[in-house]
């Protein structure tokens, strides 16, 4: 189990994280969300042992994670960290990068393991390509495979699919998170993308103003967002008194209702339209199956 115990940390005088406390069981997936600059990457770096802690402690099982003051080389065998920078060897091939740390004395096993992970990150066509010729998203996939090659017990991922195009993203996400579950590898994922969270994370942690403001399953947090900031992570929402926070899809346009609004604009949204409307001098958003004309009067219901 990963146990982050009452960690407070800042780079100079400004506090970045305050009284951070949480646990991740073996094989579980924890997602961390928060605005840009809220300290997600900093938290991953602390878990990895990149900085010395003055306040608080971090443990993986019984081992305390210690910073550079105590460790000549940062990091531990049981934990891997995929940063936003990747840190690959540019003039060697994809398979050489992934297999780099595997023993040369067992060439067949090395090849088998490298091939297995190339498949997990869907890079079969690029196995023999030098990393310098890859795109950002392909490099990101090499970095993920390399982190997994020696079967860590816990993986730290910072925006793991941010450079990957939408064509590949969904299948890659499923493949990587399934691999982690199948192999009982715990993971902590810092992300801006709700699709990294819904459907994959066992727990979700929200950081705001240096503190954890919410910690629960993604489903419970999604169904009951406590603040507009949390709701905004999941999609378009409204604050309508006395109902509170309601997502755009929870408003339904009907023929008659005592809730009336005037359409400002319709945005094409794929399988629906997002209707921007004026309700009691406030802008609200409603998901609707059709485009609506500007200035049209509409009635709506709220279904919670």
Q: What x/- string results for residues 186 through 205 when contact with ligand ATP is judged by CB under 6 A?
A: ----x---------------
Tell me how far, at minimum, the Cβ of 16 lies from ligand ATP, in Å.
5
Q: Name the minimum Å distance from CB 84 to ligand ATP.
A: 7
Query: Is residue 39 close enough to count as binding ligand ATP by CB under 6 A?
Result: yes
The residue among 35 and 122 lying less far from ligand ATP, judged by its C-beta, is 35
97 near ligand ATP (CB under 6 A): no
Residue placing its CB nearer to ligand ATP in the complex, 40 or 141: 40
Q: Tell me the closest approach of the beta carbon of residue 202 to ligand ATP, in angstroms.
A: 21
Q: Which stretch binds ligand ATP (CB under 6 A): 23-31, 39-47, 104-112, 258-266?
A: 39-47
Instruction: Spell out, one character per residue from 148 to 187, where the chain touches ligand ATP: x when CB under 6 A holds, - when not.
Output: ----------------------------------------
Say if residues 250 and 303 touch (Cβ distance below 8 Å): yes
- CA angle 294/295/298 to nearest 5° reads 100
The phi, psi pair for 141, rounded to 5°, reads: -70, -35
User: Could you tell me if 136 and 125 are in contact, meaning their C-beta atoms sit under 8 angstroms apart?
Assistant: no
Residue labelled with tokens 């755009």? 248
Q: Does 16 bind ligand ATP (CB under 6 A)?
A: yes
- Binding positions for ligand ATP, 42-61, rule CB under 6 A: 42
Q: Using the rule CB under 6 A, which residue among 7, 31, 34, 95 binds ligand ATP?
A: 34
Return d(Cα 55, Cα 151) in angstroms, integer: 31
- Alpha-helical regions (H) of the chain: 40-48, 94-99, 107-120, 136-148, 166-182, 194-197, 218-223, 228-234
**Alpha carbons 45 and 87: distance in angstroms, whole number:** 15
Q: What is the DSSP letter of 65?
A: P
Name the residue nearer to ligand ATP (CB basis): 18 or 153.
18
* Phi, psi at 12, each rounded to 5°: -125, -110
Q: Binding of ligand ATP at residue 85 (CB under 6 A)?
A: no
| Beta carbon of residue 41, minimum distance to ligand ATP (angstroms, whole number) | 3
C-alpha to C-alpha distance for 212 and 143, rounded to whole angstroms: 29
Which residues pair with residue 212 across a beta bridge? 207
Question: Rounded CA gap, 149 and 158, in Å?
Answer: 18
In the list 9, 20, 29, 40, the residue contacting ligand ATP (rule: CB under 6 A) is 40
Q: Which residues bind ligand ATP (CB under 6 A)?
A: 11, 16, 34, 36-42, 190
């Amino acid at each position: 189990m990963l146990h982050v115990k009452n960690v407070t940390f800042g780079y100079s005088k400004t506090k970045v994280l305050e009284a951070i406390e949480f646990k991740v069981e073996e094989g579980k997936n924890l997602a961390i969300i928060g605005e840009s600059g809220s300290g997600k990457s900093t938290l991953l770096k602390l878990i990895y042992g990149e900085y010395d802690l003055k306040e608080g402690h971090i443990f993986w099982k019984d081992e305390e994670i210690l910073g550079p003051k105590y460790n000549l080389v940062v990091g531990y065998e049981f934990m891997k960290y995929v940063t936003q920078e990747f840190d690959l060897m540019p003039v060697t091939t994809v398979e050489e990068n992934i297999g780099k740390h595997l023993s040369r004395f067992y060439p067949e096993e090395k090849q088998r393991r490298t091939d297995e992970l190339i498949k997990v990150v869907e890079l079969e066509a690029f196995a023999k390509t030098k990393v310098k010729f890859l795109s950002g998203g392909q490099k990101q996939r090499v970095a993920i495979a390399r982190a997994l090659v020696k079967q860590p017990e816990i993986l730290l991922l910072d925006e793991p699919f941010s450079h990957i195009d939408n064509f590949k993203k969904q299948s890659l996400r499923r493949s990587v998170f399934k691999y982690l579950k199948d192999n009982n590898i715990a993971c902590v994922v810092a992300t801006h993308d709700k699709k990294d969270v819904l459907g994959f994370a066992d727990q979700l942690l929200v950081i705001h103003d240096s503190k954890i403001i919410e910690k629960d399953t993604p489903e419970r947090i999604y169904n009951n967002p406590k603040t507009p900031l949390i709701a905004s992570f999941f999609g378009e929402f409204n604050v309508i008194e006395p109902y509170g926070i309601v997502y755009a899809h929870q408003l339904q346009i009907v023929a008659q209702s005592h809730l009336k609004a005037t359409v400002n604009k319709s945005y094409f949204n794929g399988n629906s339209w997002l209707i921007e409307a004026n309700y009691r001098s406030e802008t609200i958003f409603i998901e609707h199956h059709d485009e609506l004309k500007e200035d049209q009067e509409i009635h709506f219901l709220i279904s919670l």
